[in-house]
Amino acid sequence: MKGRVTKSVGSTYQVKLDDGSFISASLRGKLRLIESKATNPVVVGDFVTIDKQDEWVITAVLPRLNKMTRSAIGNDNNEHVLAANVDQVVIVSSLTKPAPKFNFIDRCLVTAQAYRIPAILVFTKVDLVKQIDEEINQIRSLYSGCTDGIFFENLLSDSDGKLFKSVFQNKLSSLTGLSGVGKTTLISSINPDLALRIGKTSDKWNQGKHTTSNAELFEVMENSFIIDTPGLREFGLRNIEAYELSHFFREMVPYLEDCKFSKCSHTHEPVCAVKVAVEKGHIHPLRYESYLQMLKDLD
């Protein structure tokens, strides 16, 4: 039998079968060893085959179309997959409490680009920012041409938000972001009937508390699904080589062929079109700084 993983709790997985029913399944022993470099060989979004033994058991993971992945915390040699087989990734960031971490956003964008996953940026808590127009303009300038869409939302308002909801229609979206940025609130704003538990931001650390402890797939509208993943603290790049990093910065791609060297690092080489583009303002200097930091981490 075949199905799709819709929730993971430890070594137990909820699987939606092709007939629409749900079962709880565990992993066959040898399947745990298939990807020795992965902390989680089965993730929400995976298509799997299952078999009934003493209990339901996942016997195989079908080939993935794509995945959102990062380096495992405490071990850069291992990877931790956040979600698989998604139509788009929605990177959620609050404008305050916690403040945006643009390097985190940039790493998510690079990973999405590496796996050819469309990426949407959503900035929440707009109602808490005084000079909101200035903030919006700065962020739009920073990410112009880098994403498939940017939204600024007050998720607690009574606004219908039809345009925003349309982003999720007829797609499987994976949410990712720091703790406390409003991922769960976002899902609830689209479908209040889900009655999800929403946490508060820590006053002491000005960071979000983990409300979502396990990845789970929700149907928020007809034929529209969202994978809610636990809030993150960091996002380490995985399966990306230093020489190819610039290929995953969308705004750099048009200039790569004009560099003198085919594997130009865009740091010290002569006749570098990317550096010229930065100097002329065609590439935002903060994005270039983010690129240099990632390049340093990959070397």
CA distance 176 to 183: 8
Write out the CATH class of domain 242-298.
mainly alpha
Q: Of the CATH numbers 3.30.710.10, 3.30.420.40, 2.40.50.140, 3.80.10.10, which one belongs to the domain with range 2-63?
A: 2.40.50.140
Q: Which H or E run contains 273?
A: helix 273-279
What pLDDT shows up at residue 246?
A: 96
DSSP strand E in 73-139: where? 75-84, 88-94, 119-124
Which parts of the chain have pLDDT scores under 70?
Answer: 29-37, 73-77, 155-161, 195-213
Parallel, antiparallel, or unpaired for β 22-27 and 12-17? antiparallel
What type of residue is 114?
A: A
Q: Assign domain 82-228 to a CATH class.
A: alpha beta
Residue 32 CB burial class (10 angstroms; 0-12, 13-18, ≥19): middle
In the chain, CATH 2.40.50.140 covers: 2-63
